[in-house]
Amino acid sequence: MAPEKEITIYDIARTLGISATTVSRGLKNHPTINKNTRKKIAETARLLGYRSNTFASSLRSKKTLTLGVIVPRINSYFMASVLAGMEDAASRQGYTLIITHSNESAEKEKLNAATLYNKRVDGLLISPAYDTLNTEHLAPFFHKKIPVVFFDRMLDHPDSQAVVVDNVKAAYEMTKHLLDQGFRRIMLLNGNPLRNVYAERLTGYKQALREARIPFEEKRVITSPLTEAAGREMAEIIMQKKDRDRPDAVFAANDTAAVHCMIRLKDAGWQIPGDIGFAGFNNDPISQVAEPHLSTVNYPGYRIGETAVNSIISHLSGNTDIKTTPKIFLRTELIIRASSLKKKNL
């Protein structure tokens, strides 16, 4: 059976007895077309089953009004918040998003980048996977001057922009808070230091220890995928350590790992923060579900996504140039809760 013929503006024009130019303008709500005529055109288009040929339109305008997005994972509250901010900002300005995820795989990220490039996206928003080493797979975008904006995690490239937070400052402030509460053997449960966010958090942690004149010990820094399972596994490791090697506080680079480590230790009879204090990062809802509530760093996911999209669209509109502002920093703040308050009077 032969497929049905695609309805065109010429079919609508013949049905209504008007010109194809009038139909085209009416479908675009052009002000020169009478309101009633526009209504008739829209209704006839619906009845006939007309679909706008966005592909042909994009070839003419050289714009698809789509933005490609590559996220490292989708099963996190933080990334969901980022995507919500992106969606809202894009829809307000007439853009749509094509969202892909790498599942923390550089190889999958390369495939996603190639797919989005072939989809002719107007710009690319990307947070690199754990094991992405460089920007070679993004070369086609840079060559064609398709803007690339990194968010949360970033890689260095002179023709790109990054929307980030000051991870060094945030980690320094949280580590200092733990030190001020009297904790001295602070374990950092960190992500892959290949990624800037985790390398920067390690720097902030070291800086706070140095100022407190506490020697940095490599054994107190654990690289982890920061999953629920990783948090529980860390609790098992902590329980097996001898007293002098056992941490008296854990600062995790996300809330998920911190909470699941804390829950496992509580189930084993540990008192928090009496026996061990906890702090996380991101201010996910899980931080307030856990008991005691988790101290954390408020990380503005929605604003990161919104800012990244607004910036790339402003560049595409010719209002700004992303290269003039290589980094956009958004503010974080400490949210101090019971899990780290060893000194109850503070």
Q: What is the mean pLDDT of each run of 10 residues along the chain (346 residues)?
A: 70 90 85 89 87 58 88 92 97 95 96 95 97 95 96 96 97 98 97 94 98 96 95 96 92 97 97 97 95 96 98 96 95 97 68
Task: Give the CA count within 13 Å in the CB-facing half-sphere of 236.
Answer: 6
Sheet holding 123-126, edge to edge: 96-101, 66-71, 123-126, 148-151, 160-165, 327-330
Q: What is the predicted pLDDT for the residue at 58?
A: 55
- Start and end residues for every CATH 3.40.50.2300 domain found in the chain: 64-165+301-331, 167-299+334-340
**CATH no. of 64-165+301-331:** 3.40.50.2300
* 227/62 Cα distance (integer angstroms): 42
The confidence score (pLDDT) of residue 62 equals 67
pLDDT of residue 46: 84
pLDDT at 105: 96
Is the pTM higher than 0.85? The answer reads no
**Nearest partner of 339 among 264, 280, 269, judged by Cα:** 280
Q: What per-residue confidence (pLDDT) applies to 6?
A: 78
Which class would CATH give 167-299+334-340?
A: alpha beta
| Record: fold of 9-52 | 434 Repressor (Amino-terminal Domain) (1.10.260)
pLDDT score at 191: 95
Whether omega for the bond prior to residue 292 falls within 30 degrees of 0, making it cis, is yes
Domain with CATH 1.10.260.40 in the chain: 9-52
Residues 6+ apart with CB under 8 A from 240: none
- Per-residue HEC secondary structure of the chain comes to CCCCCCCCHHHHHHHHCCCHHHHHHHHCCCCCCCHHHHHHHHHHHHHHCCCCCHHHHHHHHCCCCEEEEEECCCCCHHHHHHHHHHHHHHHHCCCEEEEEECCCCHHHHHHHHHHHHHCCCCEEEECCCCCCCCCHHHHHHHHCCCCEEEECCCCCCCCEEEEEECHHHHHHHHHHHHHHCCCCCEEEEECCCCCHHHHHHHHHHHHHHHHCCCCCCHHHEEECCCCHHHHHHHHHHHHHCCHHHCCCEEEECCHHHHHHHHHHHHHCCCCCCCCCEEECCECCCHHHHCCCCCEEEECCHHHHHHHHHHHHHHHHCCCCCHHHCCEEEECCEEECCHHHCCCCCC
